[in-house]
Each structure stands twice: as structure tokens, then as C-alpha cells.
Amino acid sequence: MEDKDKDKDKEKKYSTVSIPTPLVEKIKQRIEGTGFTSVSSYVTYVLREVIANMDEEEEEVFSKEDEEKVKERLRALGYLD
Amino acid sequence: MQRPHGGKLISRHAAKEPAGVEELPAIEVATTAAEDIINIANGVLSPLTGFLGHDDLDCVIHHKRLGNDVPWTIPILFDLDTPDVREGDTILLTNQETGLRALLEVEELFDYDRTTLAKEIYATTDAQHPGVSAINSMRRHFAGGDILLVGHDRRQFDEYHLTPQETRVLFREKGWKEIVAFQTRNPPHLGHEYVQKTALTFADGIFINPLIGKKKPGDFRDEVILRSYEALMQHYYLQERSVMAILRTAMRYAGPREAVHHAIMRKNFGCTHFIVGRDHAGVGNYYGPYDAHDIFDEFPDLGITPVFFRSFSRCTKCDAIVNDKICPHGPEHHINFSGKKIRELLQQGKIPPEDMMRKEVAETILQFDHPFVE
């Protein structure tokens, strides 16, 4: 990929956020010697982890009829008693 | 219950045969593409609702994520070379082997550099790599868009085929919350059993999920794999703690990227953990033995926990099956589980030693006149 294209790609897929400078300095220290190559990659990692943990468990939304059909098949195949 | 990947379990089944299907332009697709379509329709590949478009593909290739930031490592693509298909068309996709009939809404037609695809997905452009070779033989264009499954035939081993909706109901009925998935392409030897039972010790149930489909000559036949697992499970597993169902999909041999993909599919089945072994989904020497472990560090938001196993062997001093974390003895005391050796013995009609493979498993395999793909 040409450099210009890379810049364009980056513009399209990334946004800038403001973080207090002392925090940035702390992050820089923290990621030294780790696999993280930049403050951005570390912050992205942490935020993805936080957001994923906030996702609530989803209740299955099968209709009663669908669920009964599923159970019938599972019983017929011997998966359920 | 485990959340489906991307938050929603996809279902793309036509409630009834849509009007005018017979008049649509039809394309006969390969069985591997038909399996992708059926898997999309059943939610195995949630959150995909169809084949990737250019922007999603670009994100998957360069960031290992879909355009909406959801982790995704293996592009699911539809290639075609039909000059009269246009963007906005709906086409009928058929496949004789599976009896597939599905609609594809062609949202976009695009090209993508094949070298980039190969290099990013398979970490090589070597045409000897089966995945690279598959890319090289793809047709000129890609079509992105949603699919709708109209129908397909019943197939061999359907009694072992469960959809994510079905496994989710099954796990819930069994009262399992922590479910560990094990993928396999071979009959089980004692090393496999050890890995599965070690993982199961910390979970509520194990989901043994053999891949069924296109195989290379010399591989075990699908029926042999299934029957040998049946024998093992009947004699050595608790029925209330173990379930086996097949997954019909092609191996891509994409090593680390495919390990993540395999984990995502099992997440959609409702599993919370996924066993990743040494050189998972590898072929030849294209990947390091633990590349498929390391890649998971990139996905704090994957939503399924990988369970890593490194080497395991039989230790003559411990007189037990061990792994590198629990045995202090040197390699001179370790006998590795050699799939090759087991295979050679079976090919000669001999039962492998009982410290390699359960007798019941070996006898089941030897009941077949031709246990290997020819």
C-alpha cells in the first residue's frame, strides 16, 4: 500500500481522542518492553476489553414453538432424554 | 448463556420459497462455498449475514476485524467470473452435492489484490501452501452481499449436525454454563483424551466438534473419525458431560488466524472456552508452533477464552500422560503421541499400544476396510 493510501486508510478508520498528558506519560512507561508499540495501541486494547466486559449476556429469543421443535429434534437424535 | 459473536445469532433462512426464484440467473458454486452459505444461514459465522464486501475485507486483512471493530480473521468471500452479473442483482446459488439453493443479493462487485490476501491471511505467498493455492485459483471478481438460504438436501451424518441454535438449547437443558470446545480432524489417541479431560475438569461440559468435509488422500475418512469418537465416548466419557456434533467447513490452513476463526465459530455454538493446541490449523512449516496461541493476545474482546496446550506426552517415569508444566523429567523419559506412528500401525492392520490409543478406538478403526481417504 502506498504511504498516501495508508494515511487515507488511517484517517478513515481512526479518530483522535484527548488524554491528559500525565496519563500518556504513565502509559508510555507502562508499555515499555511490552508488545504494545504505541500509546494508541494500548489504549485501544484496554478500551476494547472494557467495552467487551460491559456487554450484557443476551437472553435467547427463540419462540416457544421454535424451541419445542429444537428440543424434539435433540430428543430424536439422542442428545436429550 | 454465551453471547453470540457480534451480539446476535444470525438466521438467514427463507420461511418459504420466494416467488420467481426459478427465473433468477443461477450459479453453481463449489461445495466449500455452499458450506459457507449454510453456516452463515445457521449463525455459525455470526455476525456475518453474507459474503464480505470490500471495506470489511480490507479491515479483516489489515486489522483482523470487521468494519464495525468486531474481531474477524478469515475473510468469507464469494468469487465469480460471470460478466452478466451486476451490482443490485439477486442471483440463485446452487450446489449439486448439497442440494443448496440460496439467494445472493449482489451489493457490490470488487477486485482485491491476491498477493496481499495471501500474505496477510497465510503469512506467505508460496503457491505450495493450500490456502495460497486456493486464492490463486479464485475467479476474477468478488461479490459482497447478504445471502438467504432457500433450502438444501439432507446429507450423510445429519444426525450429528447441530446448528448453534440447537447447541445453545442443548447446553442450557443440560445446565452447562462453562463449555469447552475441542476441534478435531482425527480419531482420538490418548493425548487428545488427556487434553479434553484436563480442560473438562474445569468446565461443565465438553463439545467435541470434528470438522467434516473436503479431505486430502491419507486423511482419516469422516465416518472413521465419528465412529472412533463414539467408541471413546461410550466407554470413557460421562454422557452428561460430553457432546459431539460435526461442523461442515473447509480447513483453510491459516494457522493463527484460523485458530481465532475456529474459536469464533465455537463461541456462536455457545461455548465459553476453546482448546488451542500446538500449530493449530497449521500446515508444513509456515507457522511457529505457538503462533496460534500468541495471536489471541490481540483480542481482549474476543468473548471466548482460549485454553492453550503445549506439548503432551507419556512419561515413563511418572507412568502417566503429562505436559510440559507438570512433569520434571527430561525428554529421554517422554514418548510423544505420534499420529504418524499410530497411522502406520493402523495401516498395517495392527492395534497401536494401549498407552497410545484406546483398544476400543483402534478396533473401531480397524473394522473399516478403507479407513483412509484414497
* Region label for B152, one of left (φ > 0), alpha (ψ between -120 and 50) or beta (otherwise): beta
The CATH code belonging to domain B5-151 is: 3.10.400.10
- B119, pLDDT greater than 90: yes
| pLDDT given for residue A49 in this prediction | 86
CA angle B258, B259, B264 (to 5 degrees): 90
Alpha-carbon gap, residue B51 to B229, rounded angstroms = 33
Q: How far is residue B85's CA from residue B29's CA, in Å, rounded to a whole number?
A: 15
**Per-chain mean pLDDT for chain B:** 94
Question: pLDDT tens digits for B269-319?
Answer: 999 999 999 889 888 899 999 999 999 999 999 999 999 988 789 999 999
pLDDT at B231 over 70: yes
Which is nearest to B52 in space by CA: B121, B132, B101?
Answer: B121
- Which residues in chain B have their CB less than 8 angstroms from residue A58's CB? 1, 3-4, 7-8
Q: B172 to chain A: which residues are within 8 Å by CB?
A: 60
Residues forming CATH 3.40.50.620 domain(s) in chain B: 158-251+311-366
Distance between A36 CA and the closest CA of chain B, angstroms: 10
The pLDDT value recorded for residue B338 is 80
pLDDT score, position A60:
62
Q: Which residues pair with B320 in a beta bridge?
A: B315
Quick check: A81 contacting B, CB < 8 Å?
no
Q: In chain A, whose CA is at the least distance from the CA of B4?
A: A58
Pick the residue from chain B with its C-alpha nearest to A46. B300
Using pLDDT thresholds of 50, 70 and 90, give the confidence band for residue B70: very high
A-chain residues near B169 (CB < 8 A) = 60, 62, 67, 70-71, 74
Range with the lowest mean pLDDT among B15-19, B193-197, B358-362? B15-19
Q: Could you write out the DSSP letters of every residue in B282-295?
A: --TTSS-TTHHHHG
Rounded to an integer, what distance in angstroms lies between the CA atom of residue A43 and that of residue A23? 11
Q: Helices A21-31 & A39-54, crossing angle to 10 degrees?
A: 100
Active site residue B184: yes
Give residue B69's pLDDT: 93
In which residue are the cell numbers 500468541 written?
B294
ipTM of this complex:
0.88
The whole-number pLDDT of residue A79 equals 96
Whole-number pLDDT of residue A57? 59
Measured distance CA(B353)–CA(B138) in Å, rounded: 45
Q: Cell digits for B348?
A: 498395517
Residue B83 or B38, more confident = B38
For chain A, 81 residues long, give each residue's pLDDT as a single digit of tens.
455 565 555 556 788 999 999 899 999 999 998 888 899 999 999 998 888 877 765 556 678 898 999 999 999 999 998
For range B255-279, the mean pLDDT: 96
Question: In this complex, is the C-beta atom of A49 within 8 Å of any C-beta atom belonging to chain B?
Answer: yes
Amino acid B96 reads Q
The catalytically annotated residue of B32, B65, B90, B185 is B185
- Are B318 and B324 in contact by the 8 Å Cβ rule? The answer is no
Given an 8 Å threshold on Cβ–Cβ distance, is B4 in contact with A58? yes
B161 touches B248 (CB < 8 A) = yes
State yes or no: pLDDT of B353 exceeds 70: yes
CATH 3.90.870.10 for the B158-251+311-366 domain, yes or no: no
Q: Pick from B162, B138, B367: which is nearest to B246 by CA?
A: B162
Of B19, B21, B43, B32, which is closest to residue B104 (Cα–Cα)?
A: B21
Q: Is A44 left (phi over 0), alpha (psi -120 to 50) or beta?
A: alpha
Point out the catalytic residue in the list B186, B198, B305, B323: B186
Confidence band for B146, pLDDT divided at 50, 70 and 90: very high
Determine, for residues A55 and B3 on separate chains, whether the beta-carbon distance falls below 8 Å.
Answer: yes
Band of pLDDT at residue B87, cut at 50, 70 and 90 = very high
Cβ contact, residue pair A62, B165, below 8 Å: yes
- In the annotation, is B168 catalytic? no
End-to-end CA, chain A: 57
Q: How far is the first Cα of chain B from the last one, in angstroms, to the nearest whole number?
A: 42
3-state secondary structure of B372: strand
To the nearest whole angstrom, how far is the Cα of A52 from the nearest Cα of chain B?
A: 5
Q: Are B304 and B264 in contact (CB under 8 A)?
A: yes
Integer Cα distance of B317 and B314 in angstroms: 9
Measured from the Cβ of residue B107, the count of other Cβ atoms closer than 10 Å reads 15
**Is residue B214 over pLDDT 80?**
no
Contact (CB, 8 A) for B356 and B337: yes
Chain A residues with CB-CB distance to B159 below 8 A? 77
Q: What is the pLDDT of residue A9?
A: 59
Q: Where in chain B is the domain with CATH 3.10.400.10?
A: 5-151
